[in-house]
Amino acid sequence: MSNTKNNLESISGLQDKGRRRFVLGASAMLALAALPFPKNAFAKAISESLTQLSGKVFDLSIDYKTVNFTGKSARATVVNQVLPAPILRWKEGETVTLRVKNNLDQDSSIHWHGIILPTEMDGVPGLSFDGIKPGETFEYQFKVQQNGTYWYHSHSGFQEQTGVYGPIIIDPAEPDPVVYDREYVVMLSDWSDTPPEKIYANLKKQSTYYNYSERTVSDLFTDIRKHGLINTWKARGMWNDMRMSDRDISDVTGAAYTFLMNGKTPEQGWNALFKQGEKVRLRFINAAAMTIFDVRIPGLKMSVVATDGQNIQPVEVDEFRMGVAETYDVIVEPEEGNAYCIFAQNIDRTGFTVGNLTSAAHLVAAVPSMDPAPILGHGDMGMSMEGMDHGDMDHGNMAHGAMDHGAVAHAEMDHGSMAMGTPALGLAGFGSTAEIKHADAEYGPHIDMRADAPQNGLHDPGIGLRNHQAEYNRKVLTYADLKGLHPTYDKRQPSREIQLHLTGNMHRYMWSINGVRFSDAEPLVLEYGERVRFTLVNDTMMTHPMHLHGMWSDLETGDPDFIPRKHTVIVQPGSTISYLVTADAIGKWAYHCHLLYHMPGMFLKVVVR
Amino acid sequence: MKNINVIGFKLSLIAVLFMSGLAQAGGGDDPLLTKVMFDEVERGVGSNEPTSFNIQAWMGKDINKFWLKTKGEYQNADNKELEIQALYSRAIAPYWDAQVGIRVDLEPSPSRNWAVLGLQGLAPYFFEIDAALFIGEEGRTAMRVTAEYEMLLTQKLILTPEVKVNLYGKNDAVLGIGSGLSDISAGLRLRYEIKREFAPYIGVEWARKFGNTAEFARVEGKKVEGTQVVIGLRAWF
């Protein structure tokens, strides 16, 4: 209830007292931001406090820098002395040259995330090139063949955690189908004073190190009071047998992280100005190392117009989830005389970051309180829904039930295609109908779970969001809502299907694909030109954002004519998701979970030959 | 003693060589790590109560680790215990490690040496189990099972019941150890994690000797059963 109340407050009125520090910061910065640009200039106006570089030739330098986000000084790795790194503004069709100098005492690299380019320009040490040695400069050069919102980051060590990430905006060659008067980049990230190697070691030594939301004895008594002793015993039985925690949502939480919006802490707040009647394009980028964010702007409908840089048919939502590395462009139409809170809470509700979208410097929107922390259910373990627990997941389970009808429909279609003698693959656009099979390598000390009855994650808003429609009347974006604006680029049926299982042992903090970690894995080979389906099966209870380099992931959302293209796809816990890939890029490509501390193990080399 | 030192040295050498080999073969997902755990460092409340410790350390990677376990107790010059185990530990199941190695009981005198076969891990219902079979000289055998459970009263206030059982294959009269069930101890410790790695605690420990061991104790005029209140520190890095 308190959440609803807070929402109403921020919708109906503005709070301009009691947050003195916030307001002071806001007015100081708005004094800079509120220069009287003509309307056209606004269209190109950059986000307050982010540096922008544009043109065809860029000089970037990676250095150490002392930063202070927490009250204590810590060492960051930054590009051109700023965190986030400067916005790079390119033009579709032009050739860009990027000279990247590494001033660190260790190897570095820059990967242009989501950009279609030659394999040797992709910036992955060991695959694309050897990395950039200390003191050396690497010159990237490639033709820009796309437009939209992207980002770039280091692909070396754990430098993404310590600040080597920045936005890319590519202006389209043709008139932009998205109409807007003003734009802002909203780059979300996570900062920790603890060095990333130490965070990784802590997780290996105690996987629950950062989890301060575990079940306590009082939760047990509450359950017994609500559901009775017998039911509680039954509901707990599975978790106790499996030695897993239904409160294990994020590996690294607000206990370690300060969440940033465009490099500003929640205390500082990031500020964005709008003028009466303007359509504002917000280019959201999740540049976090380990944090999945849920984004909303209380009081404003968001029209989602693009994801991962690719335009989609606009869909109006109140809230959306961003896996690490995903981007979403939304259009909002704020009302004059108001301020709105751009609110991004992390998936386990241990922290958030905020921005203030306002029509006047003195107006500061109230910050809503976070939603309750999600609690995992049997469905999130890829288990069948019978005898489900009595947790807060019932809405989600119902949604799953509805999905099954879709799956049945696919199966029927498949019968049709089998009758015509084509392989028993699900039709393009509708996803997999293949049987779930666990490889032999999925059995052993490195694997703690296998999803035996995984649901399709397409219609699932995700853990912690499933009840938001019913509870708060907030429409949450799902992948099923994504339809490409452009008709499907490659309408061929897939010639084969590759089923990949995301696997691990949370307790030992080991991660792998098909039960094999990167250093032991054979490359996945694609033939040049083939159209192939990737079906991901999440055999863990973590939410994994999977990123394929070099080629688009054409997400199968149920409409074969308007398949949306993505570069990073969330795979829900204990669930499956399918996408089609056209192997149109010769070379060696990285394919991995974009959660930074999963990446060393949950990583595959993809070879297109 | 000399003999044992040589065995111990060889064992650790093998472990180090083995793991350095892995370091070259392995990827960045599996760094060589070290964890030192002061599980129990505590003192009985009252005069003439013992000080005791249970300290473990491992060095290794996800699957293979070199593991040291030491425990000891000091009351006075005549009543002291010190035991050291050096083990090779290998993950064999999602929640279980198999451990083999040696154990040396340096105190009380005379010292005893054992080979160790152990199983350590997390049982269903979140019981932390350490079970080991010890094979000593002159046909001596022993078994020890430790079970621990963590109850979160809050996220930082944690109550830990623990039960320890020792069994022996035959009498070792010099040391006052009898065959069969020798002793059971049960502890309840309440710790507060100031941070994950640092948690002071208070607790109570009950212990009782059984069978022949109890008989030996009675003959020597020692206590068969006792309860003590302890304060201590749990820490790791």
Residue B26 Cα to chain centre, angstroms: 30
CA distance, residue A217 to nearest chain B CA (Å):
5
Smallest Cβ distance to B153: which of A212, A216, A446? A216
- Taking the C-alpha atoms of residue A224 and residue A242, their distance in angstroms, rounded to an integer, is 21
Q: Tell me the residues of chain B between 207 and 236 that have a Cβ less than 8 Å away from chain A.
A: 236
- B29–A216: do the CB atoms touch at under 8 Å? no
- Residue to substitute from B24, B29, B62, B152, interface A, most A β-carbons within 10 A: B29
Please give the mean pLDDT across all residues of chain A.
88
Confidence label for B176 from pLDDT (cuts 50, 70 and 90): very high
- Residue to substitute from A107, A208, A243, interface B, most B β-carbons within 10 A: A243
Statement: residue A400 has pLDDT above 70? no
Whether residue B195 lies within 8 A of chain A, CB to CB, comes out as no
List CB contacts (< 8 A) between A240 and chain B. Answer: 124-126
CA distance, residue B152 to nearest chain A CA (Å):
5
- Taking the C-alpha atoms of residue B105 and residue B83, their distance in angstroms, rounded to an integer, is 4
Ranges of H-type helices in A514-609:
none
Cα separation values, B225 from A221, B31, B147, B182, B218, Å: 34, 46, 20, 12, 10
Region of poorest pLDDT, from A4-13, A92-101, B151-160: A4-13
Q: What is the mean pLDDT of residues A105-126?
A: 97
Query: Which residue of A lies nearest to B33 if distances are taken between CA atoms?
Result: A201
- B62–A510: do the CB atoms touch at under 8 Å? yes
Question: Are A52-182 and A378-608 the same fold in CATH?
Answer: yes
List CB contacts (< 8 A) between B126 and chain A. Answer: 240, 243
Q: Which residues of A touch B (CB under 8 A)?
A: 197, 200-202, 204-206, 209, 212-218, 240-243, 444-448, 505, 507-508, 510-511, 517-520, 600-601
Region of poorest pLDDT, from A95-99, A237-241, A363-367, B207-211: A237-241
Confidence label for A404 from pLDDT (cuts 50, 70 and 90): very low
- B63–A519: do the CB atoms touch at under 8 Å? no
- Taking the C-alpha atoms of residue A81 and residue A63, their distance in angstroms, rounded to an integer, is 7
CA distance, residue A371 to nearest chain B CA (Å):
19
CATH, range A52-182: 2.60.40.420
Q: Is A237 buried (19+), middle (13-18) or exposed (0-12) by CB count in 10 A? A: middle
Give residue limits of the domains in chain A.
Answer: 52-182, 378-608
- Taking the C-alpha atoms of residue A36 and residue A536, their distance in angstroms, rounded to an integer, is 50
CA distance, residue A23 to nearest chain B CA (Å):
34
Phi/psi at A211 (nearest 5 deg)?
-95, 105
Give residue-wise pLDDT tens across range A1-59: 333 333 333 333 333 333 333 333 333 333 333 333 333 333 334 446 689 999 999 99
Statement: residue A458 has pLDDT above 60? yes
Q: By the 8 A CB rule, do A248 and A455 touch?
A: no
* Token reading at A53: 């570089």
List CB contacts (< 8 A) between A511 and chain B. Answer: 29
Smallest Cβ distance to A214: which of B63, B95, B152? B152
Stronger pLDDT, B3 or A66, i.e. the higher one: A66
Q: By the 8 A CB rule, do A534 and A498 touch?
A: yes
Q: What is the mean pLDDT of residues B47-53?
A: 90
- A214–B26: do the CB atoms touch at under 8 Å? no
List CB contacts (< 8 A) between A241 and chain B. Answer: 124-125
All residues at 6 or more sequence positions from A422 whose CB lies less than 8 Å from its CB, including other chains: A493
Cα separation values, B71 from A96, A289, B4, B6, Å: 65, 40, 18, 21
- B62–A508: do the CB atoms touch at under 8 Å? yes
* Token reading at A160: 């993404």
- Residue to substitute from A508, A509, A605, interface B, most B β-carbons within 10 A: A508
Topology at the third CATH level for domain A378-608: Immunoglobulin-like (2.60.40)
Query: Which residue of A lies nearest to B36 if distances are taken between CA atoms?
Result: A205
- B154–A216: do the CB atoms touch at under 8 Å? yes
Smallest Cβ distance to A215: which of B29, B35, B152? B152
As beta bridge partners, residue A293 has: A322, A346
All residues at 6 or more sequence positions from A444 whose CB lies less than 8 Å from its CB, including other chains: A515, B93, B94
Q: How many domains does chain B have?
A: 1
| Dihedral (CA of B185, B191, B193, B198) sign | negative
Query: Which residue of A lies nearest to B31 if distances are taken between CA atoms?
Result: A201
Domain span holding position B101? 2-236
- B196–A206: do the CB atoms touch at under 8 Å? yes
Smallest Cβ distance to B125: which of A206, A240, A600? A240
Whether residue B92 lies within 8 A of chain A, CB to CB, comes out as yes
Query: Which residue of B lies nearest to A207 if distances are taken between CA atoms?
Result: B196
- Taking the C-alpha atoms of residue A485 and residue A312, their distance in angstroms, rounded to an integer, is 4
Q: By the 8 A CB rule, do B88 and B11 touch?
A: yes
Q: For chain B, how are helix, strand and coil distributed in percent, rounded to 5? A: 20, 60, 20
Smallest Cβ distance to B122: which of A213, A446, A507? A507
Residue position matching structure tokens 């044992």: B4
Query: Which residue of A lies nearest to B93 if distances are taken between CA atoms?
Result: A445
CA distance, residue B195 to nearest chain A CA (Å):
10
Q: Tell me the residues of chain B between 49 and 78 that have a Cβ less than 8 Å away from chain A.
A: 62-63
In this prediction, residue A546 carries a pLDDT of 98
Q: What is the mean pLDDT of residues A115-134?
A: 97
Smallest Cβ distance to B27: which of A213, A448, A519? A519
Query: Which residue of B lies nearest to A209 if distances are taken between CA atoms?
Result: B196
In this prediction, residue A242 carries a pLDDT of 87
Smallest Cβ distance to A217: which of B62, B153, B196? B153
Q: Is A55 left (phi over 0), alpha (psi -120 to 50) or beta?
A: left
List CB contacts (< 8 A) between B236 and chain A. Answer: 205
Whether residue B148 lies within 8 A of chain A, CB to CB, comes out as no
CA distance, residue A579 to nearest chain B CA (Å):
27
CA distance, residue B200 to nearest chain A CA (Å):
18
- A507–B26: do the CB atoms touch at under 8 Å? no
- B94–A201: do the CB atoms touch at under 8 Å? no
Q: What is the CATH number of the domain that holds B40?
A: 2.40.160.40
Statement: residue A108 has pLDDT above 80? yes
- B29–A214: do the CB atoms touch at under 8 Å? no
Query: Which residue of B lies nearest to A518 if distances are taken between CA atoms?
Result: B27
In this prediction, residue A384 carries a pLDDT of 67
Give residue-wise pLDDT tens across range A279-313: 999 999 999 999 999 999 999 999 999 999 999 99
* Token reading at A2: 């308190």
CA distance, residue B52 to nearest chain A CA (Å):
25
CA distance, residue A447 to nearest chain B CA (Å):
6
In this prediction, residue A27 carries a pLDDT of 37
Beta strand pairing call for A111-113 and A148-153: antiparallel
Confidence label for B49 from pLDDT (cuts 50, 70 and 90): confident
- A508–B94: do the CB atoms touch at under 8 Å? yes
